[in-house]
Structure 1
């Protein structure tokens, strides 16, 4: 069973060359167990507002990066975009992480 105060590393990666950009949040834990996540991504621009909401459970192995989910979002040059990821272990929040949306190169 994973402790609620578990030390986690969390980051956001993108799949190179994808349009729209495919984004993958990862987590790495020092303990094996199940992590629950809630992901909220919001884009605001001239064309309006769009949002993505996902949640789920993921089994992690100690010391191994685990992809939580993957999603894609089109971004215009002037769009505002943010990603918020909240993680839980055993029903207790372990942290909330905010990311800027990666811009296409």
Structure 2
């Protein structure tokens, strides 16, 4: 059995943009980010948790814009979730200046190709604390 998150359950919901594109509306899907850093760069780990065993395709896109230009980091893959157990979707290193505009998009899709798209601000990845954002598709 997979361990729960080291800091316990996800924290309070934080407003974020979410677009549903005909994915199972009855599915209970939670998505959040954990951000770790001792010193820059920060490490961002996206998580997904479902109410039932499910196979999902995912794409994580980090977009940063600042005085030095625009940077894109993309990761894709598949994850087989177990009911009520958080699943990490890889990890991304984010090195940004406080004045940079930064956001993280996470797109989930099932076998039918339907998508759920989540949009998170990067926040400050240079702090020495872990942050969590939670969304529920219920």
TM-score normalised per structure 2: 0.69
Q: Higher strand fraction: Structure 1 or Structure 2?
A: 1
Aligned-residue Cα RMSD (Å) equals 1.3
Which of 30, 55, 65 does residue 9 from structure 1 map onto?
30
Q: Which residue of structure 1 aligns with residue 83 of structure 2?
A: 62
How far is the alpha carbon of 1:34 from its aligned partner? 1.1
In the TM superposition, residue 12 of structure 1 has moved relative to its aligned partner by 0.7
C-alpha distance in structure 1 between counterparts of 2:61 and 2:112, whole Å: 18
Residue 92 of structure 1: CA displacement? 2.6
Query: 1:23-62 counterparts in 2 under 5 A?
Result: 23-62=44-83
**Contact 1:86 1:93 survives alignment (8 Å):** no
Are 1:20 and 2:44 counterparts? no
Equivalent residues, number: 102
The structure showing larger relative contact order (alpha-carbon pairs under 8 Å, at least 6 residues apart) is 2
CA distance in 2, matches of 1:79, 1:34: 35
Equivalent position SS for 2:114: strand
1:15-49 Cα offsets, whole Å, 9 max, x none, are: 24242010000000001121110111110111121
Residue 80 (structure 1) aligned with residue 101 (structure 2): yes
TM-score by length of 1: 0.89
The structural deviation recorded for 1:95 is: 1.1
Runs of 4+ in 1 over 6 A off after TM superposition: none
Distance 2:114 2:38 in 1: 34
Q: Structure 1 regions of 5+ residues with no counterpart? A: none
